[in-house]
């Protein structure tokens, strides 16, 4: 005889409540966090404008059904689209993430993935408020939302690894959690409503990590975060129409996230939510490459002048890296598309040695057809340096060590070039930020007229003016 199920609901999971209460705080982060939020916005918008040169990205943009007009809809930077906030969130995050050149976090993921939902919602709210005679949101509100979303995604990624082989999920699920929380708060949601929205994000379907792993790496990795961001906005809007939540979405026995998808493990939260992630964000400044390959790319480019006239004399290329890079991006064999190439350590190093630079064009079919690339890949020996692994795993160091050394047939060799931190790491912030500004100015030229470029660059360089600007006016400035 079976025992009836007791239909007694317990209180919401503590993690859901902690997230909701944190997001409900009016102000988080001081001047340092808001300054970095401005740089993150600058970099993300620059990446978005550059992505508009990529046909595979462009084909995913616009309304779901061509010709749909949305009154008071959200603008999409670099385009004429004005869309509902769900579709706009997809468009914006797709552009930002497409080239894999936006900001990143030391445990993985790209916190700027949340910007699609934040900007689309802020713009939509501002336009609808103005239509009703109310005050629009200011860009300072966007920065506050960014700090919160970055923190939720980053802190949860520190304590948990969803993309490890035994779990197999794509970590963009954290974008869904973080964006659902901040967007619901932006829509006026209470603590309880934020709990409801995040709980629905937690129990939602989550993508498998297959499209980031060889031999199946493919372009979905460039729009997966956009899917998560737009889904978060949809869940938030649905919550604000009265949809219920699920109090034990994380912890419910048998049916909750932890038991179904996380092997029964409790989710870990290693620090209280504040503004730590924004203040320590990492940028990809010099090279569009997977984050573990950033220092290897820099090593290769430094060696370019020493090898460019001796390519036929190379006998061996020795590369040392840490354990995670060795297992994630050390790849032999065919690389059928750009998504496979920009996640291949050997391909990235080969291009750096050959060209003295690595750009988005380096991953296109035309460039990959250069037989010298695969010739160099065949001469590479990649191995783990245990010191590199220890320093990568160290919470005190958080380094990303790679080294490259080239050996020639006559017995000579180049110096061993070893780089501990990429140019976009907080350790190299003073060196990196001027280069980030240069990257942004270069990206503006891809899409906006020269006169507008100067105005946008000046605005993004002025913290006070940018924070005070109405969101709708800012988004109009970024449109064409």
CATH of the domain at 274: 1.10.4100.10
CATH number for 359: 3.30.1330.120
Classify residue 250 as exposed, middle or buried by CB count within 10 Å of its CB (0-12, 13-18, 19+). buried
Give me the pLDDT at residue 69, please: 85
Q: How far is CA 270 from the centre of its chain?
A: 21
Helix runs in 187-315, H state only: 191-202, 220-240, 257-261, 276-279, 294-307
Q: In the prediction, which pLDDT does 159 show? A: 83
Does any domain span residue 108?
A: yes
d(CA 456, CA 474): 9
Q: Are residues 236 and 349 in the same domain?
A: no
- 8 A C-beta contact, residue 118 and residue 70: no
Q: What is the DSSP letter of 164?
A: S
Q: Which of 456, 325, 329, 468 is nearest to 401 (CA)?
A: 325
What's 186's DSSP letter? H
* Contact call for residues 179 and 117 (beta carbons, < 8 A): yes
Same domain, 180 and 239: yes
Task: Mark whether 298 and 228 lie in a shared domain.
Answer: no
Cβ neighbours of residue 378 under 8 Å, at least 6 residues apart?
Answer: none
Angle at alpha carbon of residue 139, lines to 477 and 472, rounded to 5°: 40
**Structural domain includes residue 449:** no
- Greatest Cα pair distance, the chain, in angstroms, is 82
Q: Is residue 317 part of a domain?
A: yes
Task: Judge whether 286 lies within some domain.
Answer: no
**256 and 313 together in one domain:** no
Separation between Cα atoms, residue 284 and residue 46, nearest integer Å: 12
Provide the whole-model pTM.
0.94
Neighbour-count burial of 139, counting CB atoms closer than 10 A to its CB (0-12 exposed, 13-18 middle, 19+ buried): buried
304 and 227 share one domain: no
Q: Are residues 272 and 299 in the same domain?
A: no
- Could you write out the DSSP letters of every residue in 411-462? S-B---EEESS-TTSGGGHHHHHHHHHHHHHHHHTTTS-HHHHHHHHHHHT-
Same domain, 232 and 319: no
Residue 458 resides in a domain: no
pLDDT the model gives residue 351: 98
422, HSE (Cβ side, Cα atoms, 13 Å): 28
State whether 90 and 155 are in the same domain: yes
What's the confidence (pLDDT) of residue 164?
A: 87
Within a domain: 465: no
Write down the H helix ranges in 132-172: 139-159
Q: Specify whether 307 is located in the same domain as 271.
A: no
- Expressed as residue numbers, the domain containing 18 is 14-279
Query: Which one of 422, 445, 466 terminates a domain?
Result: 422
pLDDT at 449: 86
Q: Which residues are registered as beta bridge partners of 317?
A: 380, 406
Same domain membership, residue 260 and residue 373: no
Residues of the chain falling short of pLDDT 50? none
DSSP code per residue over 306-358? HHTT-GGGEEEEEEEE-HHHHHHH---S---SHHHHTT-HHHHHHHHHHHS--
Instruction: Report the domain count for the chain.
Output: 2
* Contact in structure between 184 and 239 (CB atoms under 8 Å): yes
Bridge partner list, 169: 208
Integer-rounded Cα Rg, in Å, for the chain is 23
Question: Is residue 477 one of the residues assigned to a domain?
Answer: no
- Helix or strand or coil: residue 102? coil
The reply to whether 209 and 295 lie within a common domain is no
Tens of pLDDT, residues 110-154: 999 999 999 999 999 999 999 999 999 999 999 999 999 999 999
What is the model's pLDDT at position 1?
Answer: 52
Of the residues 422, 439, 463, the one at which a domain ends: 422
CA distance 292 to 425: 12
In a domain, 474, yes or no: no
Say how far residue 412 (Cα) sits from the centre of its chain.
41
The answer to whether the CB of 338 falls within 8 A of the CB of 347 is no
Residue ending a domain, among 279, 302, 331, is 279
d(CA 84, CA 104): 28
pLDDT digits (tens, 9 = 90+) for 336-355: 998 899 999 999 999 999 99
Nearest to 335 by CA among 308, 362, 314: 362
Number of CB atoms found within 10 A of residue 390's CB? 14
Residues 216 and 295 in one domain: no
């Amino acid at each position: 005889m079976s025992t009836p199920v007791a239909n007694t609901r317990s209180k919401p999971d503590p993690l859901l409540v902690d997230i909701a209460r944190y997001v409900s705080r009016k102000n988080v982060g001081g001047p340092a966090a808001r300054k970095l939020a401005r740089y993150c916005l600058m970099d993300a918008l620059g990446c978005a404008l550059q992505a508009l040169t990529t046909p595979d990205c462009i084909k995913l943009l616009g309304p779901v059904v061509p010709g749909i007009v949305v009154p008071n809809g959200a603008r999409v930077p670099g385009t004429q689209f004005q869309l509902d906030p769900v579709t706009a969130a997809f468009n914006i995050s797709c552009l930002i993430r497409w080239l894999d050149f936006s900001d990143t976090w030391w445990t993985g993921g790209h916190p700027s993935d949340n910007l699609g939902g934040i900007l689309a919602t802020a713009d939509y709210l501002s336009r609808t408020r103005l239509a009703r005679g109310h005050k629009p949101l200011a860009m300072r509100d966007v920065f506050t939302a960014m700090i919160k979303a970055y923190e939720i995604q980053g802190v949860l990624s520190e304590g948990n690894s969803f993309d490890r082989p035994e779990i197999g999920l794509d970590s963009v699920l954290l974008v869904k959690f973080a964006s659902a929380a901040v967007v619901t708060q932006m829509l006026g949601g209470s603590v309880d409503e934020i709990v409801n929205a995040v709980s629905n994000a937690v129990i939602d379907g989550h993508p498998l990590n297959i499209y980031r792993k060889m031999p199946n790496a493919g372009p979905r990795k460039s729009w997966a975060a956009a899917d998560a961001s737009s889904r978060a906005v949809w869940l938030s809007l649905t919550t604000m129409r009265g949809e219920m939540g699920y109090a034990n979405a994380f912890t419910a026995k048998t049916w909750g996230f932890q038991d179904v998808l996380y092997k029964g493990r409790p989710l870990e939260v290693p620090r209280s939510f504040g503004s730590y992630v924004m203040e320590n964000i990492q940028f990809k400044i010099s090279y569009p490459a997977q984050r573990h390959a950033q220092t290897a790319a820099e090593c290769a480019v430094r060696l370019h002048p020493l090898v460019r006239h001796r390519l036929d004399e190379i006998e061996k290329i020795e590369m040392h890296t840490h354990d995670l890079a060795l297992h994630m991006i050390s790849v032999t064999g065919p690389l059928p598309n750009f998504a496979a190439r920009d996640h291949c350590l050997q391909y990235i190093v080969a291009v750096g040695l050959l060209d003295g630079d690595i750009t988005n064009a380096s991953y296109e079919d035309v460039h990959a057809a250069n037989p010298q690339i695969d010739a160099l890949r065949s001469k590479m020996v990649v191995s783990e340096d245990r010191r590199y692994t220890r320093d990568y795993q160290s919470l005190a160091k958080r380094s990303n060590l790679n080294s490259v050394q080239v050996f020639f047939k006559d017995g000579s060799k180049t110096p061993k070039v070893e780089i501990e931190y990429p140019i976009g790491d907080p350790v190299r912030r003073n060196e990196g930020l001027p280069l980030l500004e240069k990257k942004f100015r270069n990206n503006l030229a891809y899409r906006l007229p020269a006169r507008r470029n100067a105005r946008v660059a000046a605005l993004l360089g002025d913290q006070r003016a940018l924070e005070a600007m109405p969101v709708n006016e800012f988004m109009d400035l970024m449109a064409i």
